[in-house]
């Protein structure tokens, strides 16, 4: 039955008033504000050279906030002086002639499935702006630290992919979890959102703690008091409101609002997407293999989300405690580098990353899921007076797997102390172009911003030939 009040309301009644009076805001649909999606225009993607174009249906980006040291991970320097190599030795991997640091024994066993870049460079030593460069592929206008995000920033890879390559199987196209990237004082980094594309294209930020089961994420859970029939009745009421307000001025914002509400309803009815958050469905053995810590369980959640159809999931290394505390999981190792990477950081990353790649392979998902593990920069070649390594954007390492990425190769090299690229320097625009290529977006394609101006997807980036082919 139609609500008779809708038939007599005058033009002075606004949608906000109807929501207040009718209680429509109490649906458990707070995601709707994040799911608003205005029209976006892009040049159609066309296949380009390389058989792996579009091979990746999804992407899991593990962002190791703080900057992992290249020496203690993928680029050991066993012949360097002690103040460079520190206390660790290198170990052979599953690829003859390739060595990783001894801190990564699980990852070393699957090197034949990985491509490691040892010559990544941003030439920026600030967390936030080097991080923005890595997360967007566009060089920031300043190299200063603590630069807050702004409305004219270049959009993140997650935002662009969510906008131009939306999921066809899930209401969630691009998701970031379990928390945002921030410097001390909760100063947010730029490069994490949609920038000039507009806030409605921000990736869906899911603040959560997957170690606490059952997981509770605001907006995802329908209240038990709202059964299917009642929910459908509220949807019908919203449709009547839309019909009324679209008949008056300002129908474009109303249409966008209606689209967001539709997305919220879709999410509540998308069983696969909602069930992805039920980590208790996984065996205790697999959950333990991922690691019973926030990073490990967030990575397991990422696998479940892409399995349910999410296009891109970015897992940020969580900030827990102060950076200089020995037990803190942050990679910002200005002090006690050796003990922190040995006892906390590398054991967590090594087991989680190796388990993710193996799990995807066992499920037949690795060939179609691009996996990237990277930080905003690396660490200085020489150990400082506090036994730590400092910020270093001149040369560092990252690793890729799956989704068309060839295994068993090292791309580029660093000099004898791991301080500068010795060959094949790779910059963030090239990395962005490679990610777009693998996900089926031509890196040279243009898209229109909200003012109708053409923008290219990358800032002159070229897909990495060792990964995508000639």
Note the pLDDT tens digit of each residue in 84-101: 999 999 999 999 999 999
Q: Region 374-392: what's the mean pLDDT? A: 97
Q: Per-residue pLDDT for 258 more than 70?
A: no
Q: Per-residue pLDDT for 237 more than 90?
A: no
pLDDT of residue 447: 80
Q: Give the end-to-end CA distance of the chain in Å, rounded to a whole number.
A: 64
Nearest-5° angle of CA 306, CA 307, CA 312? 10
Dist. CA 77–CA 98, nearest whole Å: 12
Please state whether the peptide bond connecting residue 295 to the residue before it is cis, i.e. omega within 30 degrees of 0: no
pLDDT of residue 320: 72
What is the helix (H) or strand (E) element at residue 159, kind and residue range? helix 157-164
pLDDT of residue 30: 38
Dist. CA 132–CA 415, nearest whole Å: 26
Q: Region 115-128: what's the mean pLDDT? A: 98
pLDDT of residue 184: 86
The more confidently predicted of residues 9 and 453 is 453
Q: Region 347-360: what's the mean pLDDT? A: 98
Q: What is the DSSP letter of 453?
A: -
User: If we measure between CA atoms, which residue out of 138, 133, 48 comes closest to residue 456?
Assistant: 138
Q: Region 239-243: what's the mean pLDDT? A: 58
pLDDT of residue 185: 87
Q: Per-residue pLDDT for 220 more than 90?
A: no
């Amino acid at each position: 039955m139609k609500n008779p009040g809708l038939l007599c309301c005058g033009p002075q009644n606004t949608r906000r008033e109807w929501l207040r009076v009718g209680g429509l805001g109490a649906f458990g649909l707070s995601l709707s504000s994040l799911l608003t999606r205005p029209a976006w225009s892009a040049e159609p993607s066309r296949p380009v050279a390389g058989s792996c174009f579009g091979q990746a249906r999804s992407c899991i980006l593990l962002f190791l906030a703080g900057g992992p040291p290249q020496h203690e991970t993928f680029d050991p320097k066993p012949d360097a002086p002690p103040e460079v190599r520190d206390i660790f030795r290198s170990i052979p991997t599953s690829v003859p002639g390739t060595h990783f640091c001894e801190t990564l024994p699980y990852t070393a066993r699957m090197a034949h499935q990985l491509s490691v870049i040892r010559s990544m460079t941003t030439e920026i030593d600030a967390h936030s702006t080097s991080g923005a460069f890595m997360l967007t592929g566009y060089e920031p206008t300043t190299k200063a630290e603590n630069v807050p995000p702004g409305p004219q920033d270049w959009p993140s890879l997650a935002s662009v992919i969510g906008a131009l390559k939306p999921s066809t199987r899930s209401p969630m196209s691009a998701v970031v979890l379990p928390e945002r990237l921030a410097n001390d004082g909760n100063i947010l980094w730029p490069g994490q959102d949609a920038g000039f594309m507009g806030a409605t294209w921000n990736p869906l930020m899911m603040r959560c703690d997957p170690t606490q089961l059952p997981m509770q994420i605001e907006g995802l859970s329908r209240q038990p008091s709202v059964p299917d029939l009642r929910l459908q009745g509220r949807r019908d009421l919203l449709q009547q409101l839309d019909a009324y307000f679209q008949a008056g001025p300002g129908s474009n914002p109303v249409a966008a609002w209606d689209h967001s509400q539709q997305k919220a309803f879709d999410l509540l009815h998308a069983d696969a997407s909602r069930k992805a958050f039920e980590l208790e469905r996984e065996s205790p053995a697999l959950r333990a293999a991922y690691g019973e810590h926030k990073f490990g369980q967030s990575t397991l959640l990422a696998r479940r989300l892409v399995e349910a159809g999410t296009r891109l999931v970015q897992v940020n290394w969580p900030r827990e405690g102060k950076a200089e505390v020995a037990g803190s999981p942050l990679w910002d190792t200005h002090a006690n580098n050796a003990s922190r990477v040995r006892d906390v950081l590398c054991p967590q990353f090594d087991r989680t990353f190796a388990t993710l790649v193996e799990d995807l392979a066992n499920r037949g998902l690795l060939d179609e899921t691009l996996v990237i593990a990277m930080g905003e920069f690396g660490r200085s070649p020489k150990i400082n007076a506090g036994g730590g390594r400092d910020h270093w954007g001149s040369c560092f390492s990252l690793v890729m797997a799956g989704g068309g990425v060839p295994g068993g190769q090292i791309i580029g090299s660093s000099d004898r102390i791991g301080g500068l690229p010795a060959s094949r320097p790779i910059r963030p625009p090239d990395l962005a172009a490679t990610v777009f290529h693998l996900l089926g977006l031509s890196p040279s394609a243009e898209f229109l911003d909200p003012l109708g101006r053409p923008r290219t997807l990358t800032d002159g980036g070229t897909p990495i030939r060792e990964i995508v082919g000639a």
